[in-house]
Amino acid sequence: MFFASDNWAGAADPIAESLSRHAKGMSPAYGTSDLDRRLEQRFNELFETELEVFFVGTGTAANSLALSAVNRPGGFVLCHRDAHLIEDECGAPEFFTSGARLAPITGDLGRVCPRALQKQLRRFDPNFVHHGQPMAVSITQATEVGTVYDVDQLNEISGIVHDYGLPLHMDGARFANALVHLDLTPAEMTWKAGVDVLSFGGTKNGCWCAEAVIFFRPELAKQMPFIRKRAAQLFSKTRFIAAQFHAYLDDDLWLGLAKHANEMATRLAEGIEKSSTGELAWKNQTNEVFVILPKSEAERLQDAGARFYPWPAPNDPNLELPDGHSMYRLVTSFCTEPGEIEQFLKLLG
Ligand SMILES: Cc1ncc(COP(=O)(O)O)c(C=O)c1O
Ligand SMILES: C[C@H](O)[C@H](N)C(=O)O
Protein backbone atom coordinates (compact mmCIF):
# COMPACT_ATOMS: atom_id res chain seq x y z
CA MET A 1 0.00 0.00 0.00
CA PHE A 2 2.44 2.65 -1.26
CA PHE A 3 0.79 6.08 -1.46
CA ALA A 4 3.70 8.29 -0.34
CA SER A 5 4.45 9.67 -3.80
CA ASP A 6 4.48 8.72 -7.47
CA ASN A 7 8.20 9.41 -7.21
CA TRP A 8 8.40 6.02 -5.51
CA ALA A 9 7.16 4.21 -8.61
CA GLY A 10 9.78 2.58 -10.84
CA ALA A 11 9.89 2.73 -14.64
CA ALA A 12 7.16 1.26 -16.84
CA ASP A 13 8.36 -1.90 -18.66
CA PRO A 14 8.42 -0.44 -22.21
CA ILE A 15 10.52 2.46 -20.90
CA ALA A 16 12.97 0.18 -19.08
CA GLU A 17 13.19 -1.99 -22.22
CA SER A 18 13.86 1.05 -24.41
CA LEU A 19 16.62 2.14 -22.04
CA SER A 20 18.34 -1.22 -22.21
CA ARG A 21 17.81 -1.49 -25.98
CA HIS A 22 19.54 1.83 -26.55
CA ALA A 23 22.34 1.03 -24.10
CA LYS A 24 24.18 -0.96 -26.72
CA GLY A 25 26.79 0.40 -29.11
CA MET A 26 28.24 3.83 -29.65
CA SER A 27 26.24 6.98 -30.29
CA PRO A 28 27.11 10.68 -30.51
CA ALA A 29 27.00 12.25 -27.03
CA TYR A 30 25.66 15.45 -25.46
CA GLY A 31 22.33 15.46 -27.23
CA THR A 32 23.65 15.10 -30.78
CA SER A 33 22.54 11.56 -31.56
CA ASP A 34 19.92 10.65 -34.18
CA LEU A 35 17.70 9.48 -31.35
CA ASP A 36 17.88 12.96 -29.78
CA ARG A 37 17.07 14.60 -33.11
CA ARG A 38 14.14 12.25 -33.73
CA LEU A 39 12.73 12.94 -30.31
CA GLU A 40 13.01 16.71 -30.73
CA GLN A 41 10.99 16.34 -33.94
CA ARG A 42 8.53 14.08 -32.09
CA PHE A 43 7.88 16.86 -29.53
CA ASN A 44 7.24 19.37 -32.35
CA GLU A 45 4.64 16.98 -33.77
CA LEU A 46 3.12 16.19 -30.37
CA PHE A 47 2.57 19.90 -29.59
CA GLU A 48 1.69 20.76 -33.21
CA THR A 49 4.07 23.73 -33.33
CA GLU A 50 7.69 24.84 -33.78
CA LEU A 51 9.33 24.57 -30.36
CA GLU A 52 12.71 24.21 -28.69
CA VAL A 53 13.15 21.30 -26.27
CA PHE A 54 15.94 20.55 -23.81
CA PHE A 55 16.21 17.34 -21.77
CA VAL A 56 17.23 17.50 -18.10
CA GLY A 57 17.30 15.07 -15.21
CA THR A 58 14.89 16.39 -12.58
CA GLY A 59 11.73 18.46 -12.32
CA THR A 60 13.52 20.93 -10.09
CA ALA A 61 16.15 21.40 -12.79
CA ALA A 62 13.46 21.84 -15.43
CA ASN A 63 11.74 24.53 -13.37
CA SER A 64 14.90 26.34 -12.27
CA LEU A 65 16.50 26.40 -15.72
CA ALA A 66 13.26 27.39 -17.47
CA LEU A 67 13.05 30.42 -15.17
CA SER A 68 16.77 31.17 -15.63
CA ALA A 69 16.20 31.39 -19.37
CA VAL A 70 13.63 34.20 -18.95
CA ASN A 71 15.25 35.91 -15.98
CA ARG A 72 15.77 39.67 -15.63
CA PRO A 73 17.93 41.63 -13.16
CA GLY A 74 16.09 41.96 -9.83
CA GLY A 75 13.52 39.54 -11.20
CA PHE A 76 10.47 38.16 -9.38
CA VAL A 77 8.63 34.97 -10.27
CA LEU A 78 5.00 35.13 -9.19
CA CYS A 79 3.67 31.69 -8.25
CA HIS A 80 1.14 30.08 -5.94
CA ARG A 81 2.05 30.36 -2.23
CA ASP A 82 2.11 26.51 -2.02
CA ALA A 83 4.09 26.09 -5.28
CA HIS A 84 6.73 23.40 -5.44
CA LEU A 85 9.09 26.20 -6.51
CA ILE A 86 8.68 27.73 -3.03
CA GLU A 87 8.00 24.69 -0.87
CA ASP A 88 10.18 21.87 -2.17
CA GLU A 89 13.06 23.04 -4.38
CA CYS A 90 15.43 24.09 -1.62
CA GLY A 91 16.21 27.46 -3.17
CA ALA A 92 17.18 25.98 -6.56
CA PRO A 93 15.10 28.49 -8.58
CA GLU A 94 16.65 31.39 -6.63
CA PHE A 95 20.13 29.85 -6.97
CA PHE A 96 20.06 29.07 -10.67
CA THR A 97 18.56 32.48 -11.52
CA SER A 98 21.33 34.13 -9.49
CA GLY A 99 18.91 35.53 -6.98
CA ALA A 100 15.49 35.93 -8.54
CA ARG A 101 12.84 35.97 -5.86
CA LEU A 102 9.55 34.04 -5.64
CA ALA A 103 6.45 36.12 -4.92
CA PRO A 104 3.71 33.94 -3.36
CA ILE A 105 0.17 34.45 -4.69
CA THR A 106 -2.96 33.22 -2.91
CA GLY A 107 -5.63 31.07 -4.50
CA ASP A 108 -7.86 28.18 -3.52
CA LEU A 109 -6.85 24.55 -3.98
CA GLY A 110 -3.42 25.22 -5.39
CA ARG A 111 -4.53 27.48 -8.23
CA VAL A 112 -3.26 31.07 -8.59
CA CYS A 113 -6.19 33.50 -8.10
CA PRO A 114 -6.28 35.83 -11.16
CA ARG A 115 -7.39 38.82 -9.05
CA ALA A 116 -4.61 38.27 -6.52
CA LEU A 117 -2.10 37.93 -9.38
CA GLN A 118 -3.27 41.18 -10.95
CA LYS A 119 -3.08 42.96 -7.59
CA GLN A 120 0.50 41.78 -7.03
CA LEU A 121 1.56 42.73 -10.57
CA ARG A 122 0.09 46.22 -10.13
CA ARG A 123 2.50 46.74 -7.19
CA PHE A 124 5.49 46.76 -9.53
CA ASP A 125 6.22 50.31 -10.70
CA PRO A 126 8.78 50.19 -13.56
CA ASN A 127 10.06 53.59 -12.41
CA PHE A 128 10.65 52.38 -8.82
CA VAL A 129 13.85 50.40 -9.29
CA HIS A 130 14.13 49.40 -5.61
CA HIS A 131 11.48 46.65 -5.80
CA GLY A 132 13.03 44.91 -8.79
CA GLN A 133 10.75 43.72 -11.59
CA PRO A 134 8.50 40.78 -12.40
CA MET A 135 10.12 38.36 -14.83
CA ALA A 136 7.64 35.47 -15.11
CA VAL A 137 4.54 33.88 -13.68
CA SER A 138 4.66 30.15 -12.94
CA ILE A 139 1.64 27.86 -12.47
CA THR A 140 1.63 24.13 -11.75
CA GLN A 141 -0.49 21.74 -13.84
CA ALA A 142 -1.59 19.46 -12.18
CA THR A 143 -1.15 21.57 -9.06
CA GLU A 144 0.70 20.52 -5.89
CA VAL A 145 -2.68 19.53 -4.43
CA GLY A 146 -3.77 17.44 -7.39
CA THR A 147 -6.19 19.96 -8.90
CA VAL A 148 -6.05 21.35 -12.44
CA TYR A 149 -6.63 24.63 -14.27
CA ASP A 150 -9.24 24.27 -17.01
CA VAL A 151 -8.73 26.04 -20.35
CA ASP A 152 -10.74 29.11 -19.32
CA GLN A 153 -8.67 29.45 -16.15
CA LEU A 154 -5.45 29.05 -18.15
CA ASN A 155 -6.56 31.72 -20.63
CA GLU A 156 -7.56 34.11 -17.84
CA ILE A 157 -4.13 33.76 -16.18
CA SER A 158 -2.16 33.97 -19.44
CA GLY A 159 -4.16 37.03 -20.49
CA ILE A 160 -3.10 38.88 -17.34
CA VAL A 161 0.52 37.67 -17.64
CA HIS A 162 0.81 38.76 -21.27
CA ASP A 163 -0.81 42.15 -20.53
CA TYR A 164 2.33 42.77 -18.47
CA GLY A 165 4.59 41.48 -21.25
CA LEU A 166 5.71 38.49 -19.15
CA PRO A 167 6.15 34.82 -20.07
CA LEU A 168 3.92 32.18 -18.44
CA HIS A 169 5.75 29.09 -17.20
CA MET A 170 3.94 25.82 -16.45
CA ASP A 171 5.42 23.32 -13.99
CA GLY A 172 4.17 20.15 -15.67
CA ALA A 173 5.73 17.57 -13.36
CA ARG A 174 2.32 15.84 -13.60
CA PHE A 175 1.38 17.19 -17.04
CA ALA A 176 0.00 13.86 -18.26
CA ASN A 177 -2.31 13.44 -15.25
CA ALA A 178 -3.83 16.87 -15.88
CA LEU A 179 -4.08 16.31 -19.65
CA VAL A 180 -6.02 13.07 -19.39
CA HIS A 181 -8.31 14.49 -16.71
CA LEU A 182 -9.18 17.46 -18.94
CA ASP A 183 -9.17 15.34 -22.12
CA LEU A 184 -7.29 18.03 -24.01
CA THR A 185 -4.49 17.91 -26.57
CA PRO A 186 -0.99 18.97 -25.42
CA ALA A 187 -1.32 22.09 -27.59
CA GLU A 188 -4.72 23.03 -26.11
CA MET A 189 -3.36 22.79 -22.56
CA THR A 190 -0.23 24.82 -23.33
CA TRP A 191 0.61 27.33 -26.07
CA LYS A 192 -2.97 27.61 -27.35
CA ALA A 193 -3.90 28.68 -23.79
CA GLY A 194 -0.99 31.11 -23.56
CA VAL A 195 1.73 29.01 -21.92
CA ASP A 196 5.20 30.09 -23.13
CA VAL A 197 7.55 27.68 -21.33
CA LEU A 198 6.73 24.18 -20.04
CA SER A 199 8.52 21.83 -17.65
CA PHE A 200 7.29 18.57 -19.18
CA GLY A 201 7.64 15.80 -16.61
CA GLY A 202 7.99 12.10 -17.33
CA THR A 203 9.65 10.91 -14.11
CA LYS A 204 6.49 10.69 -11.99
CA ASN A 205 4.61 8.86 -14.72
CA GLY A 206 6.70 5.82 -15.59
CA CYS A 207 10.07 7.23 -16.68
CA TRP A 208 13.19 6.53 -14.67
CA CYS A 209 14.62 10.07 -14.97
CA ALA A 210 13.26 12.14 -17.83
CA GLU A 211 12.20 15.79 -17.87
CA ALA A 212 12.09 18.29 -20.73
CA VAL A 213 12.05 22.08 -20.85
CA ILE A 214 9.91 23.17 -23.81
CA PHE A 215 9.91 26.71 -25.21
CA PHE A 216 6.87 27.53 -27.34
CA ARG A 217 8.53 30.88 -28.11
CA PRO A 218 11.94 29.72 -29.43
CA GLU A 219 13.39 33.22 -28.97
CA LEU A 220 13.20 32.64 -25.19
CA ALA A 221 15.50 29.62 -25.51
CA LYS A 222 18.58 31.40 -26.89
CA GLN A 223 20.64 31.04 -23.71
CA MET A 224 19.27 27.65 -22.68
CA PRO A 225 22.11 25.47 -24.11
CA PHE A 226 24.60 27.41 -21.95
CA ILE A 227 22.27 27.59 -18.92
CA ARG A 228 21.81 23.82 -19.02
CA LYS A 229 25.52 23.08 -19.43
CA ARG A 230 26.50 25.51 -16.64
CA ALA A 231 23.97 23.79 -14.38
CA ALA A 232 25.61 20.42 -15.11
CA GLN A 233 22.33 19.19 -16.60
CA LEU A 234 23.69 18.40 -20.07
CA PHE A 235 23.99 14.61 -19.81
CA SER A 236 26.83 13.18 -21.89
CA LYS A 237 24.52 10.26 -22.70
CA THR A 238 21.38 12.31 -23.36
CA ARG A 239 20.29 9.44 -25.57
CA PHE A 240 19.17 7.68 -22.38
CA ILE A 241 16.69 10.46 -21.64
CA ALA A 242 15.63 10.38 -25.30
CA ALA A 243 15.23 6.58 -25.15
CA GLN A 244 12.87 6.92 -22.22
CA PHE A 245 10.76 9.63 -23.85
CA HIS A 246 10.57 7.70 -27.13
CA ALA A 247 8.95 4.75 -25.37
CA TYR A 248 6.92 7.13 -23.17
CA LEU A 249 5.29 8.82 -26.16
CA ASP A 250 5.03 5.70 -28.34
CA ASP A 251 1.44 4.49 -28.86
CA ASP A 252 0.34 7.05 -26.24
CA LEU A 253 1.84 4.93 -23.47
CA TRP A 254 2.16 8.09 -21.33
CA LEU A 255 -1.58 8.76 -21.50
CA GLY A 256 -2.47 5.20 -20.50
CA LEU A 257 -0.08 5.32 -17.54
CA ALA A 258 -1.58 8.61 -16.32
CA LYS A 259 -5.15 7.40 -16.87
CA HIS A 260 -4.45 4.36 -14.70
CA ALA A 261 -2.93 6.47 -11.92
CA ASN A 262 -5.91 8.85 -11.99
CA GLU A 263 -8.43 5.99 -12.03
CA MET A 264 -6.78 4.36 -9.01
CA ALA A 265 -6.94 7.69 -7.16
CA THR A 266 -10.62 8.09 -7.98
CA ARG A 267 -11.32 4.56 -6.77
CA LEU A 268 -9.46 5.38 -3.53
CA ALA A 269 -11.32 8.68 -3.12
CA GLU A 270 -14.74 7.06 -3.68
CA GLY A 271 -13.91 4.43 -1.05
CA ILE A 272 -12.82 7.11 1.43
CA GLU A 273 -16.06 8.99 0.84
CA LYS A 274 -18.03 5.85 1.78
CA SER A 275 -15.89 5.16 4.85
CA SER A 276 -16.91 6.14 8.36
CA THR A 277 -13.36 7.24 9.27
CA GLY A 278 -11.92 9.40 6.54
CA GLU A 279 -13.20 12.58 4.90
CA LEU A 280 -11.98 13.90 1.54
CA ALA A 281 -10.49 17.37 1.88
CA TRP A 282 -11.56 17.97 -1.75
CA LYS A 283 -12.47 15.79 -4.72
CA ASN A 284 -9.41 14.49 -6.54
CA GLN A 285 -8.96 15.50 -10.18
CA THR A 286 -5.75 13.59 -10.81
CA ASN A 287 -3.62 11.02 -8.95
CA GLU A 288 -3.42 12.79 -5.61
CA VAL A 289 -6.05 12.26 -2.90
CA PHE A 290 -6.16 14.51 0.18
CA VAL A 291 -7.91 13.02 3.18
CA ILE A 292 -8.67 14.23 6.71
CA LEU A 293 -8.17 11.47 9.26
CA PRO A 294 -7.96 11.18 13.04
CA LYS A 295 -4.21 11.04 13.75
CA SER A 296 -4.76 7.79 15.65
CA GLU A 297 -6.38 6.21 12.58
CA ALA A 298 -3.52 7.35 10.35
CA GLU A 299 -1.02 5.78 12.75
CA ARG A 300 -3.02 2.52 12.78
CA LEU A 301 -3.00 2.43 8.95
CA GLN A 302 0.71 3.20 8.81
CA ASP A 303 1.45 0.52 11.42
CA ALA A 304 -0.46 -1.90 9.16
CA GLY A 305 1.91 -1.06 6.31
CA ALA A 306 0.27 1.82 4.45
CA ARG A 307 2.87 4.38 3.36
CA PHE A 308 1.65 7.98 3.18
CA TYR A 309 2.53 11.31 4.80
CA PRO A 310 0.79 14.20 6.53
CA TRP A 311 0.32 17.17 4.21
CA PRO A 312 0.38 20.74 5.44
CA ALA A 313 -3.24 21.82 5.15
CA PRO A 314 -3.30 24.87 2.84
CA ASN A 315 -4.48 28.01 4.63
CA ASP A 316 -7.84 27.47 2.99
CA PRO A 317 -10.43 29.33 5.10
CA ASN A 318 -13.06 26.78 4.11
CA LEU A 319 -11.00 23.95 5.51
CA GLU A 320 -11.62 23.22 9.18
CA LEU A 321 -9.61 20.36 10.69
CA PRO A 322 -11.43 18.83 13.69
CA ASP A 323 -9.35 18.41 16.88
CA GLY A 324 -7.04 15.38 16.79
CA HIS A 325 -7.26 15.20 13.00
CA SER A 326 -4.67 15.90 10.31
CA MET A 327 -4.61 16.03 6.52
CA TYR A 328 -2.76 13.39 4.53
CA ARG A 329 -1.76 13.10 0.87
CA LEU A 330 -2.25 9.73 -0.83
CA VAL A 331 -0.63 9.51 -4.26
CA THR A 332 -1.28 6.75 -6.79
CA SER A 333 0.88 5.94 -9.77
CA PHE A 334 0.99 3.97 -13.02
CA CYS A 335 1.85 0.84 -11.03
CA THR A 336 -0.74 1.14 -8.24
CA GLU A 337 -2.69 -2.12 -8.13
CA PRO A 338 -6.48 -2.26 -7.50
CA GLY A 339 -5.70 -4.76 -4.72
CA GLU A 340 -3.69 -2.10 -2.87
CA ILE A 341 -6.70 0.20 -2.93
CA GLU A 342 -9.05 -2.53 -1.71
CA GLN A 343 -6.62 -3.51 1.06
CA PHE A 344 -6.32 0.12 2.24
CA LEU A 345 -10.08 0.71 2.17
CA LYS A 346 -10.75 -2.53 4.06
CA LEU A 347 -8.28 -1.43 6.75
CA LEU A 348 -9.82 2.05 6.84
CA GLY A 349 -13.22 0.58 7.62
C1 LIG B 1 4.66 19.75 -8.67
C2 LIG B 1 6.10 19.32 -8.72
N3 LIG B 1 6.98 20.06 -9.43
C4 LIG B 1 8.29 19.74 -9.50
C5 LIG B 1 8.77 18.63 -8.85
C6 LIG B 1 10.25 18.39 -8.89
O7 LIG B 1 10.63 17.21 -9.38
P8 LIG B 1 11.98 16.54 -8.85
O9 LIG B 1 11.67 15.98 -7.50
O10 LIG B 1 12.26 15.50 -9.89
O11 LIG B 1 13.04 17.60 -8.79
C12 LIG B 1 7.90 17.80 -8.11
C13 LIG B 1 8.40 16.58 -7.43
O14 LIG B 1 7.70 15.61 -7.27
C15 LIG B 1 6.54 18.16 -8.03
O16 LIG B 1 5.68 17.44 -7.27
C1 LIG C 1 6.77 16.60 -2.29
C2 LIG C 1 8.00 16.10 -2.96
O3 LIG C 1 8.87 17.16 -3.10
C4 LIG C 1 7.71 15.59 -4.33
N5 LIG C 1 7.59 16.75 -5.21
C6 LIG C 1 6.43 14.77 -4.35
O7 LIG C 1 5.45 15.24 -4.94
O8 LIG C 1 6.43 13.69 -3.79
Residues 63 and 117 in one domain: yes
Q: Does residue 3 form part of some domain?
A: no
312 falls in which pLDDT band (50, 70, 90)? confident
Domain boundary pick from 230, 252, 274: 252
pLDDT reported for residue 99: 97
Residues 127 and 95 in one domain: yes
Q: Does residue 116 form part of some domain?
A: yes
Residues 141 and 183 in one domain: yes
Instruction: Write the pLDDT tens digit of every residue in 238-273.
Output: 999 999 999 999 999 999 999 999 999 999 999 999
Name which residue sits closest to atom 3 of ligand 2, judged by CA: 88
Check pLDDT > 70 for residue 316: no
Give dist(CA 99, CA 67) in Å, integer: 11
Q: What is the mean pLDDT of the segment spanning 63-83?
A: 97
Q: Look at residues 299, 283, 280 and name the one whose alpha carbon lies nearest to residue 291.
A: 280
Name which residue sits closest to atom 14 of ligand 1, judged by CA: 7
Residues 183 and 291 in one domain: no
Give dist(CA 124, CA 138) in Å, integer: 17
pLDDT reported for residue 317: 61
Task: Spell out a b/e string for 298-330, using b for 16 or more CB atoms within 10 Å of the CB, else e.
Answer: bebbeeeebebeebebbebeeeeeeeebbbbbb
Which mutation among 2, 3, 7 tests ligand 2's pocket best, with the greatest number of atoms within 8 A of CB? 7
Residues 285 and 237 in one domain: no
Residues 65 and 211 in one domain: yes
Full domain range(s) for residue 217: 11-252
Looking at all shown ligands, the one closest to residue 177's CA atom is: 1
Q: Does residue 225 form part of some domain?
A: yes
Residues 142 and 273 in one domain: no
Q: Does residue 5 form part of some domain?
A: no
Q: Which atom of ligand 1 is nearest to the CA of 60?
A: 11
Domain boundary pick from 193, 227, 252: 252
Look up the CATH number of the domain holding residue 17.
3.40.640.10
Residues 183 and 263 in one domain: no
Q: Does residue 126 form part of some domain?
A: yes
pLDDT reported for residue 320: 78
Is the shortest distance between the CB of 144 and ligand 1 below 6 Å? yes
Look up the CATH number of the domain holding residue 326.
3.90.1150.10
Residues 271 and 199 in one domain: no
**Which region, left, alpha or beta, applies to residue 284 given φ > 0 means left and ψ of -120 to 50 means alpha?**
beta
Share of the chain above pLDDT 90, in %: 95
Query: What mean pLDDT is reported for the chain?
Result: 96
Q: Does residue 244 form part of some domain?
A: yes
133 falls in which pLDDT band (50, 70, 90)? very high
Q: Does residue 64 form part of some domain?
A: yes
Work out how many domains the chain is built from and give that number.
2
Check pLDDT > 70 for residue 289: yes
Q: Give me ligand 2 centre to Cα 331, in Å.
A: 10
Residues 62 and 180 in one domain: yes
Grouping H, G, I as helix, E, B as strand and the rest as coil, residue 258 is helix
Q: Does residue 58 form part of some domain?
A: yes
Domain boundary pick from 219, 252, 285: 252
Give dist(CA 82, CA 79) in Å, integer: 8
Give dist(CA 36, CA 28) in Å, integer: 10
Residues 92 and 222 in one domain: yes
Residues 125 and 204 in one domain: yes
Beta carbons of 156 and 300 less than 8 angstroms apart: no
pLDDT reported for residue 126: 86
Instruction: Write the pLDDT tens digit of every residue in 321-349.
Output: 899 999 999 999 999 999 999 999 999 99
Q: Give me ligand 2 centre to Cα 127, in Å.
A: 39
